[in-house]
Amino acid sequence: MNGPNTNRRTFLRASCGLLASSGLACRALAGRRPPVTDPRATDGDALQQPDWKERLTITVGPGKADLVGANDRVIQAAVDYVTRLGGGTVRVLPGTYTLRNAVFLPSGIRLVGSGPESVLTKIASRTVPLADDSDWYDQEITLQDAAGFRVGDGVVLRAKDPHTGGPTVIKRTLVARNGNRFKLDDGLRKNLWLSGKPTCAALFPLLTSARTSDVQIENITLDGNKTHNDLLDGNYAGCIFLQDCNRYTMRDVEARNYHGDGISFQVCHDVVVQHCHCHHNTNLGIHPGSGSQRPLILDNESDHNSIGLFWCWGVKYGLAEHNTFDTNSSYGISIGHCDTDNVMRNNDVINSGKVGILFRDAAQGRDFWPNRNLVEANRIVNSGGNEGIAIDITGKPHAVRIARNELRETRGPAQRVAIRIGPDAGKVELIDNTMRGFAKPVIDLR
């Protein structure tokens, strides 16, 4: 018998089905529309615009420029001004710019430097304890010693969570003060109690953004001043750190000397990293972060980091091609938890400290492994120590293809292995690979 509840359930099922299919339907119908041959600037239409030959360009620099200065404030002022007028280019003229806070990038701009002559760096970090408790609803902190901290500074607040014992990490800007007491740009939303030994440190990414899109960063040098800064990992910072952003392009960027990552982007889609050089960073050179879809990692150099390229959790449909990963202390490339349907093709993976390409094991779940990935036509040379491995497949990945790669050892065979397949791995295809100089070309433990 059909009653009101039955009819409601039927309606909800039908509604959910319509919502799920609406995106597909819109894409399918888009091709049936007449082509736009003469677009006009129409209010509210972000999809179709004329190809404007000129947009606003603002220059910043320590000397002759539209905005004169050599710090984060002058770059931020230029970025904000260009954004207010609908987007354009901020051109960073030659000089060294010492930042006390990150430059926050809005949507629709282009930030362009002068290559190695435009250097963004940061102040030395200083870490001090908090002097008073702050609750999760507060928007202020009190420092034991505020020497060296200024209004406008970017800071990271860290503590042990009083409820779980886990780490608390909060990024904020100091916006007002009375002595050692500072107001923050946003509420804490987490408890910073003295029992958790909370601290405040002058740590921040050099360039950052959250929930923005359609940005280009080009031809600029970013130096993290690693020697004088504490560690802040790539889930929070880097020379470039992006969170929940879409359609960013980073081209001809040098990201170096950060006590953390070079370039890190978390839950960001359709990101392009091309012709960049990420080197001498403490952790990861290039870090496509959790949930990022369709990244393109093309023609880059990533060397003297801990890991050259780190596919984080759930990175899918990405392409890493024509890159060089050289002298990274742990792994040239690391791929793991739910990283599926990616292609690593025609890269040079050289002198990796432990393993050339690592398929990481994952936490236990129904199917958390890096499945359906293709490793093709790469050159993997001199991986690890005496027991080094060029390609190590651990955990339970399946539908992995290792095809037409050149794996070489020039230091003597020792106990070195070209390809090791762990005991729990699923289907792994080895197709026309060349392996020279190893004690054992393949160890298959299945």
Question: What mean pLDDT do residues 47-74 have?
Answer: 91
Residue-by-residue DSSP string for 25-42: HHHHHHTTSPP-SS----
CATH 2.40.30 domain range(s) in the chain = 127-201
Do residues 244 and 266 lie in contact, with contact meaning Cβ atoms separated by under 8 Å?
Answer: yes
**Each residue's pLDDT tens digit, 363-395:** 778 899 999 999 999 999 999 999 999 999 999
pLDDT confidence of residue 30: 64
pLDDT band (50, 70, 90) for residue 185: very high
Give the rounded percent of residues in the chain with a pLDDT score beyond 70: 93
Question: What mean pLDDT do residues 422-444 have?
Answer: 98
Q: What is the largest CA-CA distance in the chain?
A: 82
**Side by side, which strands form the sheet with 127-129?**
127-129, 199-201, 154-160, 167-178, 181-184, 140-142
**Each residue's pLDDT tens digit, 28-50:** 666 788 888 888 888 787 777 77
The domain defined by 56-122+204-444 folds into Pectate Lyase C-like (2.160.20)
Among 53-57, 92-96, 221-225, 322-326, the least confident range: 53-57
Question: What mean pLDDT do residues 61-85 have?
Answer: 97
Tell me which residue of 298, 324, 302 sits closest to 258, measured CA to CA: 302
pLDDT confidence of residue 29: 65
Q: Is the pLDDT of residue 14 over 70?
A: no
> 337: how many CB neighbours lie within 10 A of its CB?
19
pLDDT confidence of residue 209: 98
Question: What mean pLDDT do residues 55-77 have?
Answer: 96
Q: Is the pLDDT of residue 26 over 70?
A: no
pLDDT confidence of residue 24: 54
For the entire predicted model, the pTM comes to 0.91
pLDDT confidence of residue 13: 53
Tell me which residue of 414, 371, 404, 375 sits closest to 391, measured CA to CA: 375
The domain defined by 127-201 folds into Elongation Factor Tu (Ef-tu); domain 3 (2.40.30)
CATH 2.160.20.10 domain range(s) in the chain = 56-122+204-444
Residue-by-residue DSSP string for 393-427: E-SS--SEEEES-EEE-SS--TT-EEEEE-TT---
For residue 316, the 8-state DSSP code is: B
Do residues 94 and 112 lie in contact, with contact meaning Cβ atoms separated by under 8 Å?
Answer: no
pLDDT band (50, 70, 90) for residue 25: low
